[in-house]
Amino acid sequence: MDQGPLGSKVARSQLESIANLPAAHVVLYQPEIAQNTGNIGRTCVAVGAKLWIVRPAAFRLDDKRLRRAGLDYWQHLMLADAVNWADLVRQLAPRRFFYFSRFATRTIWDASFEKEDVLVFGSESSGLPRSILTQDQPNALRIPMADKVRSLNLATSVGVALYEHQRQTLGK
List the binding residues for S-adenosyl-L-methionine.
Answer: 122, 143, 151
Q: Where are the alpha helices (DSSP H) in the chain?
A: 9-17, 34-47, 64-70, 85-92, 154-169
Judge whether 30 and 62 are in contact, CB under 8 Å.
no
Judge whether 172 and 18 are in contact, CB under 8 Å.
no
Question: Would you list which residues are annotated within the binding site?
Answer: 122, 143, 151
Distance between CA 22 and CA 32 in Å, rounded?
Answer: 24
